[in-house]
Chain A
């Protein structure tokens, strides 16, 4: 994807500049943006490694595990159809906590584990659903939409999990704070409160939409 975006920006920029006579600006920008990038990276190196240090303490001291455990009751509400002791619950909790704390290194691995567990759950369901079909009772099966019964179709839980991941609930957006500091913000941390409000609101909206989309079909 970046291959296309990157070459589009360069080619379109240079072509536009040659038609509008801005080529001198473009030449100057090549050097100045290289310098900007290094200035930014110096600030980021400090902030990101400091924050990463604290997150590593949180991870290693068991705080992340503790928070995941605390989060479990909430999962009953978000995913009422996952059996209570299913391993998918643990992975989903771990992934949400990693997202909330901004543990970049833990998000994708736990997310992939959660998807695998959800897939296993869906397979199990399909096996269980097929059984009553073969012995002529349990006609409720026919009320399921046809596309649910497909190996390559996302389950309700998978969709909900992904949407909640995309709405990206995060307590402290440390990268954004570093960027704002570098570009001369008088108060880089001022973004925390509005950021938290907006991400909470979008997450709530996401939950409502998922609830509507996952309602049992009649």
Chain B
């Protein structure tokens, strides 16, 4: 596992290298394209800034009121039977509805447990392998006027549960 982690550090530089070389071979103005994309990226961040400020504020209130730890403590006795840490359960549920809401909760976990603790690392992995289920389903099906979604929602929820268990398990393997 150490080796895999080490090799994965090469991935980002390698992808960047490949992109730049591929574009140069096509005789593209690479730096100008980079500037165009970077500018767009800055605009994207500026656009989500109000959402992040608003959500971090709301999660901050909820966390500091003691309500979040109260709920987690209520569920604590279950932890021995569950294959994942309790704090990532609300994260998985929130992620089905709203990506930015889940992110705000993730920052809270990072702040209180650390990014590379068991809980923090499971949370990082969890958000990498789940998607905003209900949001995606509603915009995609709405666009083609589909009303009967058949098995999509149950299977989607099942997959979220699978990701929840998997990410906790993989986090344990990688941390040890």
Q: Do A and B bind each other?
A: yes
Q: Give Cα distance in the complex from A80 to B37, angstroms.
A: 37
Q: What number of residue pairs across chains A and B have CB atoms under 8 A from each other?
A: 321
Which residues does chain B contribute within 8 Å of A14, judged by CB atoms?
Answer: 61, 65
| A176–B54 touching, CB < 8 Å | no
Contact yes or no, B159 A32, CB < 8 A: no
B176 CB–A CB distance under 8 Å: no
Could you say which of A68-76, A131-139, A194-202 contacts chain B? A194-202
**B8 and A189 contacting across the interface, CB-CB below 8 Å:** yes
Chain A contacts of B54 at CB under 8 A? 6
Please report which residues of chain A, range 178-218, place their CB below 8 angstroms from some CB of chain B when the two chains form the complex. 179-180, 183-199, 201-202, 205-206, 209-210, 213
In the bound assembly, the distance between CA atoms of A166 and B171 in angstroms comes to 21
For A166, give its contact among B30, B49, B115, B156 (CB under 8 Å): B156
Count of residues in B whose CB is under 8 Å from the partner chain: 99
Contact: A153 with B150, CB < 8 Å? yes
Q: Using a Cβ–Cβ cut-off of 8 Å, how many residues does chain A contribute to the interface with B?
A: 98
Contact residues of B with A, CB < 8 Å?
A: 4-5, 7-9, 11-12, 15-16, 19-20, 22-23, 26, 28, 30, 33-42, 44-46, 49, 51-67, 70, 94, 97-98, 100-101, 103, 106-107, 110-111, 114-116, 121, 124-125, 127-131, 133-137, 139-141, 143-152, 155-156, 158-159, 162-163, 166-167, 170-171, 173-174
